[in-house]
C-alpha cells in the first residue's frame, strides 16, 4: 500500500467578483453604447442604466415640449419704414388710414405663423391755396374754393386736435365755430409722428407775429387767442379745412410715416424636434454623468478599477458656451 500524500485545497473563484471585474460581452456592448468609460468602474451596468435612462427620459420630455408647446419656438421680427402720400378729403384720409392700419394679416402654416401689421402717423398735411390768398400766405378756412381760380402753391396746414382725436363733422354748420361735434373717438384717431409736434410749421401773418412761419404745436395752438376779422381767430386760418362754405370737400395732401412690422413664430417639425432632442441629450448626458459619477464615488457606491476616470469639466465648459451662444442666436 502506498503512502497517501497531502492534498492541496484550492478556493473556488468568486463568480460574482469576476462578473463585476469583467462584465459579459453583451453587458459590455450595452455599456459602450451609453459611455465606454463606465467600464473603468466596478459597476458599469448600473451607471449605464441610470445615466442612460435619465438621459432618455429627459430627451423624450424635450421632444414632447417641442411638439406641444412654444417653449422652443423661434421668434423673428423685421420692420420696414416708408413715407407715402395720400391725396383726398378728410373723410378719404380717415377711410384710407383705417383700411391700411386695420388690416392685420396672419399667415399660418404647419409649423409657423407670420403676422404683418401696419402703423401710420402724420408728418405733414398741405392744401392747395388759390392765387387770391397769396397776399399774406395765410390759409383761411374758406380759401380753397372750387372754380377757375389759379392754384400757384401748396400751403402747410395744422391737422387740429378735433380731426386727430376722431371727432365727427356737423354737415349743417354755417360757420367755423360749429364744424366739429366735440365727440372724441367717434371716428378713427390719427396722431402726429413722434417729434413732429415740436417741429410742425404753418404760415400766418398775425398782429403779434412779424414772421409768416410759426413753428411748434404749442405756438400754433396759441393762435386761438388772437382774434381775426375774417374768422373767429387765427388758429382757424391755419387749420386744415374739411370743406368750404359751399360744403364742397377740400382735398388734403397728407404725408404719412408708414411702419410695416412682420413677426414670425416658427416651431419645429417632427423631424426637427427629434434632431433637437438628440442634440440636447448629449448635453444632458455629460452633465448627469459628471454629477452622478462623482457623487457615487464620494459615497463609496462605486470604485474606479482602471483608466483615468471621468473628468468632463472642459467638455462641460465648452458645451455651456455653445448653449449660451445658441440662446443668443435664438433671440
- Grid coordinates given for 71: 417653449
User: Sorting pLDDT into bands at 50, 70 and 90, what band is 199?
Assistant: very high
| 200 in Cβ contact with 215 (< 8 Å) | yes
Helix 270-298 vs helix 313-330: crossing angle, to nearest 10:
150
User: Sorting pLDDT into bands at 50, 70 and 90, what band is 2?
Assistant: very low
User: Sorting pLDDT into bands at 50, 70 and 90, what band is 140?
Assistant: very low
How high is the pLDDT of residue 82?
A: 94
pTM (2 d.p.): 0.61
- Grid coordinates given for 116: 404683418
232 has pLDDT over 80: no
* pLDDT tens-digit series, residues 35-89: 888 888 888 899 999 999 999 999 999 999 888 888 888 888 899 999 999 999 9
327 has pLDDT over 80: no
Task: Quote the CA–CA distance of 118 and 104 in Å, as a whole number.
Answer: 7
Average pLDDT on 299-316 reads 74
Q: HSE of 204 in the Cβ direction (CA atoms, 13 Å)?
A: 30
Q: HSE of 136 in the Cβ direction (CA atoms, 13 Å)?
A: 15
How high is the pLDDT of residue 209?
A: 53
Which sequence spans correspond to the domains of the chain?
35-71+268-330, 76-265
- Grid coordinates given for 129: 391755396
**Dihedral class, residue 263 (left if φ above 0, else alpha if ψ from -120 to 50, else beta):** beta
How far is residue 122 from each of residues 40, 102, 103, 319, measured CA to CA in Å?
Answer: 74, 17, 19, 51
Task: Quote the CA–CA distance of 94 and 31 in Å, as a whole number.
Answer: 73
How high is the pLDDT of residue 231?
A: 59
246 has pLDDT over 90: no
How high is the pLDDT of residue 181?
A: 85
- Grid coordinates given for 150: 389759379
Which DSSP letter does residue 118 get?
A: E
* DSSP track, 160-219: -HHHHTTPPB-TT--SGGGSB---TTSS----BPTTTTTT-EEE--BTTBSSSEEESHHH
Task: Quote the CA–CA distance of 293 and 295 in Å, as a whole number.
Answer: 5
How high is the pLDDT of residue 254?
A: 94
Q: Cell 408708414 sits at which residue? A: 258
Q: Measuring CA to CA, which residue among 231, 272, 293, 216 is closest to residue 67?
A: 272
How high is the pLDDT of residue 228?
A: 67
Highest mean pLDDT (candidates 77-91, 167-181, 211-225): 77-91
Amino acid at each position: 500500500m502506498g503512502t497517501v500524500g497531502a492534498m492541496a485545497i484550492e478556493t473556488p473563484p468568486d463568480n460574482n467578483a469576476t462578473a463585476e471585474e469583467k462584465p459579459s460581452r453583451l453587458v459590455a456592448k450595452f455599456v459602450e453604447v451609453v459611455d465606454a468609460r463606465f467600464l473603468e468602474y466596478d459597476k458599469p451596468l448600473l451607471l449605464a442604466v441610470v445615466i442612460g435612462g435619465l438621459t432618455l427620459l429627459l430627451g423624450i420630455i424635450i421632444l414632447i415640449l417641442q411638439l406641444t408647446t412654444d417653449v422652443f419656438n423661434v421668434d423673428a421680427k423685421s420692420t420696414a419704414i416708408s413715407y407715402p402720400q395720400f391725396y383726398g378729403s378728410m373723410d378719404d384720409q380717415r377711410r384710407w388710414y383705417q383700411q391700411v392700419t386695420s388690416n392685420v394679416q396672419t399667415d399660418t402654416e404647419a409649423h409657423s405663423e407670420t403676422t404683418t401689421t401696419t402703423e401710420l402717423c402724420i408728418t405733414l398735411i398741405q392744401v392747395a391755396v388759390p392765387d387770391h390768398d397769396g397776399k399774406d400766405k395765410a390759409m383761411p378756412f374758406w380759401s380753397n374754393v372750387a372754380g377757375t381760380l389759379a392754384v400757384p402753391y401748396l400751403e402747410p396746414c395744422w391737422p387740429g386736435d378735433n380731426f386727430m382725436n376722431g371727432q365727427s363733422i356737423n354737415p349743417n354748420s354755417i360757420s367755423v365755430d360749429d364744424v366739429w361735434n366735440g365727440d372724441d373717438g367717434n371716428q378713427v384717431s390719427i396722431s402726429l409722428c413722434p417729434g413732429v409736434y415740436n417741429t410742425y410749421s404753418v404760415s400766418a401773418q398775425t398782429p403779434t407775429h412779424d414772421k409768416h412761419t410759426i413753428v411748434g404745436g404749442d405756438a400754433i395752438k396759441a393762435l386761438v387767442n388772437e382774434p381775426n376779422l375774417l374768422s373767429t381767430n387765427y388758429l382757424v386760418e391755419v387749420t386744415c379745412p374739411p370743406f368750404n362754405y359751399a360744403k364742397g370737400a377740400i382735398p388734403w395732401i397728407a404725408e404719412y410715416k408708414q411702419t410695416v412690422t412682420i413677426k414670425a413664430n416658427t416651431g419645429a417639425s417632427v423631424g426637427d424636434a427629434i434632431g433637437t432632442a438628440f442634440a440636447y441629450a448629449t448635453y444632458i448626458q455629460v452633465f448627469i454623468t459628471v454629477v452622478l459619477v462623482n457623487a457615487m464615488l464620494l459615497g463609496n457606491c462605486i470604485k474606479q478599477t482602471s483608466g483615468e476616470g471621468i473628468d468632463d469639466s472642459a467638455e462641460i465648459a465648452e458645451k455651456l458656451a455653445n448653449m449660451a451662444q445658441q440662446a443668443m442666436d435664438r433671440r
